Structure 1
């Protein structure tokens, strides 16, 4: 959602409109590449690793899990919630949120299974 303030237009997260446009353009470029046959795992080759992940639904689908190598949320295995989930491809081991690609580590059930 975009809000008008005295300082200009802002998204609900406080991000400026140019920042949102940049994110959407990068998402659009990735979607076009997938449409044209690009390998999702190649697009996600340098992406943040999301371990212990599971699909999570709010009014929009997102992923939650322990992130390692995130560009703005430092730490190893830091619990995060992704932005809106746009592409989910377990077969290729990656997912594309509004903001970026994620390489999928083990899903949550793999970590909680007891032998």
Structure 2
């Protein structure tokens, strides 16, 4: 939820931050509609292994993060921001914050690649 002030032009840093995130999401959606594949949109997307669909008040992903720009470490357990887009082949997901390349789902055997 974002608080806004109907009688002010300046909405504050929190509002501007959420607006920038939503604009970035909308821009990515426009690129997908134009035929740009996810791997061309961002080359340094973190990998989410052993991922699963999860729920907070909004759908999200949970899994082991590799290469996250803000959460250092390998195989770090994370829950993502709100899940906005997921590829039908489960190779890519776009949360409110960023793209993820999806590795193995949580219900796959560890030996699978």
SS in 1 for 2:74: coil
Aligned CA distance change for structure 1 residues 44 and 55 (closer, same or farther; 3 Å): farther
Instruction: Give unpaired runs (5+ residues) of structure 1.
Output: none
For residues 83 and 105 of structure 2, the distance between their equivalents in structure 1, rounded to whole angstroms, comes to 16
Q: Which protein has the bigger strand share?
A: 1
Q: Which protein has the bigger helix share?
A: 1
Aligned CA distance change for structure 1 residues 44 and 110 (closer, same or farther; 3 Å): farther
- TM-score of the superposition, structure 1-length normalised? 0.80
For residues 107 and 39 of structure 2, the distance between their equivalents in structure 1, rounded to whole angstroms, comes to 22
Instruction: Give unpaired runs (5+ residues) of structure 2.
Output: 5-9
Q: Say whether residues 1:101 and 2:99 are aligned partners.
A: yes
SS in 2 for 1:108: coil
Match of 1:47 in 2: 45
**Root mean square deviation, CA, Å:** 2.3
- TM-score of the superposition, structure 2-length normalised? 0.81
**Deviation string, structure 1 residues 43-78 (Cα, Å, up to 9, x no partner):** 243201001100112332100000011111111011
Match of 1:66 in 2: 64
List structure 1 runs of 4+ shifted beyond 4 angstroms.
none
For residues 31 and 16 of structure 2, the distance between their equivalents in structure 1, rounded to whole angstroms, comes to 22
How many aligned positions are there? 106
